[in-house]
A and B are shown apart, each in its own frame.
Chain A
Amino acid sequence: MQFLESISSAVKSVLSHKMRSFLTMLGIIIGISSVIMITSIGDGVYNAIHNEIATFNMSTIQVFPRNVFGPSILTYNDMDAIQNLPNVNNVTTMIESNSNQRIQLRNPLETRRGSITGLDHNYHIIENINMLYGRFISENDINNMARVAVIRPEISIQVFGFVNSVGRTIYIEGNLGRLALTVVGIIDVPLDTIAAQSPPSMALALVPATTLSSLRNTPNNIDAMMVSMDNPIFATETAEQITRLLNIRHNREDGFAALSMTEVMDFIEIIFVGVTAFITFVAGISLFVGGVGVMNIMMVTVTERTREIGIRKSLGATGVLIRLQFVFESIVITLIGGILGIIFGIGSALALTIAVSHFSPMEIIATVDVTAIIIAVVSSILIGVIFGVYPAGKAANLDPVDSLRYE
């Protein structure tokens, strides 16, 4: 009963100084809202990335030289060697020209700038590329270094004015010279996924890898490989075997990286855990500072209300009740601050993700974690208790005679 009285009198007291209480809460509001905002956005981004990656083929390993600058040392022969390793199902390559190639558009005065990507016939097996019209790059194209191209519907429309341009010729000019390429297929590009930013979806044209490498005057070299596995469970072992084989073949200590998608996932997860831990630490500091602010104001409040405390004691309030009253006031401040922080944090997370989604191909939806809210509420209460106990104790131990005399 007296417990409830203390709570309601604490709420009244806090509400009677609205401005002061709000300013006192500010530290808590900022601390809690930043944690809620960051975790909500973080969870949203994590979920978005997770969903995107889930659409990728989890049984692939990306292989590339560690030194990404300068000419690549990987070769077609390396591909053949890796093909013979256990658990390797398929090996495909990806080569990219520089992005200064220009494709001639329908209007004779207009060109569009971009890169050409060289792929082989295995690529669409690994990456699940669907054709709208025509066919993908074939083994024949690879062997003959054929001057053929697979393009996106968007490019076809810009060049020809319609989607199905199979059989037509496109012209691309750049450091590789002037190329005339026969369109053999139109690919179906997923529009709203990370895959939309992968080379096949960005390039002006996809050509046989061998065609591009011979045009670059390094006919044997490739930039990177993608290896698909029979059994993704052994991804780590297979990746190790690939790097070991490549290091031996090229006589390097640690010249190559082989990343499986599961490793990429783990890596992303580690980064998120790290970022979350760091933000929580920073928020912890701001909550500590906020708590000290609460304590400071509580000390001032106790001093200001010395006479009130004296009166209450003279009327029979025990030290315990006085202590409870001030601890409750402290909790009311931090709890209201925490709740405002949660609301503000969720609001700004939603607003930010909606804004970002306008500019990003990924759809990020801020995800509000119930656990985070519970932790926020509990920690607000704890801060109230921790930083309220000392001022409340000071109030409880005031001498009744002195405090009644206090002006």
Chain B
Amino acid sequence: MNELKNKETETSNLKTMLEVKNLRKIYKNGHLELEALKGINFTVKEKEFVSIMGKSGSGKSTLMNILGCLDTISHGEYILDGENVAGLSQNRLAHIRNKKIGFIFQSFNLLPKLTAQQNVELPMVYAGVNKSKRREAAMYALSRVGLSDRGHHRPNELSGGQRQRVAIARSLVNSPAILLADEPTGNLDSRSTEDVIAIFQQLNNEGATIIIVTHEPEVSEHTKRIITFKDGQIVSNVNVENQIIAVQRNPNDIE
């Protein structure tokens, strides 16, 4: 009981990483208007591990794109790491994506012609980090996801689970404010899914703030809070009572 109380005070002292206020997104197509997000409010604090759930068409992908600064807001506010993102220029948004957001996509989105190492270096190239520092940081990031020895492999020489771990390593290298994972296990078998979730939990334990968009309850059960969407609105926002801890295989067992 005491322990729980401590945890709560600890949480309230943590920095707000992301805050969405009355967020609306309206798509216009001629005279037709589609309101994909109908006034969303929520907050994510430092070191949180949140999953956003909902069926397809619920607005969760739209929200993901907005949180990732890939798409713009029609109404409302989105404050990311203390900066109001609404209304910023494309250039400034590119900068924010580079420095404050680490993306993990369902289809990995690695560049096929680059090696794993080069893929991991890419965000640092755009951040203007010099070559030797890039190499060092990329190797460290790859070691965090258990792929130290795969740096010179191209994506097509890696398994799905390995590719997603390369993508996770890539998302980490610029020390972003949040990691945004969009259905990160959607293209993976159950074993690789377990590995990837284990890595997310490990990163979260090490202090990373993570948001996962998913429609799989098996994935969201591993996070600490679940926000559920329906028809462009939040229908529930609850802490997970019994977070399931994923067990990562020994890296030597991984294909």
Binding site for B on A (CB under 8 A): 1-2, 5, 12-13, 16, 307-308, 310-321, 400-401, 404
8 Å CB contacts to A: which residues of B61-78? 65, 68, 70-71
CB contact under 8 A between A5 and B125, given known A311-B109, A319-B91: yes
Chain B neighbourhood of A312, CB < 8 A: 111, 122, 126
- Majority SS of interface residues in chain A? helix
B98 touching A12, Cβ below 8 Å: no
A321 touching B126, Cβ below 8 Å: yes
CB contact under 8 A between A315 and B90, given known A2-B128, A404-B70, A404-B109: no
Count of chain B residues with Cβ under 8 Å from any Cβ of A?
26
Chain A neighbourhood of B126, CB < 8 A: 2, 312, 315-318, 321
A316 touching B70, Cβ below 8 Å: no
**In the complex, the 9 A-B pairs of residues with the closest C-beta atoms, listed nearest first:** A316-B98, A316-B126, A318-B94, A400-B70, A315-B123, A311-B109, A316-B97, A401-B70, A401-B65
Closest Cβ neighbor of B93 among chain A residues: A400
A1 touching B128, Cβ below 8 Å: yes
Chain B neighbourhood of A307, CB < 8 A: 109
Other-chain contact of B95, A1, A318, A400, A401 (Cβ < 8 Å): A318
Chain A neighbourhood of B70, CB < 8 A: 313-314, 400-401, 404
Contact of B9 with A by CB under 8 A = no
Closest Cβ neighbor of B127 among chain A residues: A316
**A319 nearest CB across to chain B (Å):** 6
A319 touching B127, Cβ below 8 Å: no
Contact of B252 with A by CB under 8 A = no
8 Å CB contacts to A: which residues of B121-135? 122-123, 125-128, 130
A316 touching B65, Cβ below 8 Å: no
How many angstroms between the C-alpha atoms of A5 and B122 in the bound complex? 10
A314 touching B128, Cβ below 8 Å: no
B65 touching A315, Cβ below 8 Å: no
Residue pairs across A and B with Cβ atoms less than 8 A apart, 26 shown, are: A1-B128, A1-B130, A2-B128, A5-B125, A12-B113, A308-B111, A311-B110, A311-B111, A312-B126, A314-B70, A314-B103, A314-B109, A316-B97, A316-B99, A316-B123, A316-B126, A317-B94, A318-B91, A318-B94, A318-B95, A319-B91, A320-B91, A321-B126, A400-B70, A401-B65, A404-B105
Chain B neighbourhood of A319, CB < 8 A: 90-91, 94
Closest Cβ neighbor of A311 among chain B residues: B109
Closest Cβ neighbor of A308 among chain B residues: B111
A316 touching B128, Cβ below 8 Å: no
How many angstroms between the C-alpha atoms of A307 and B68 in the bound complex? 17
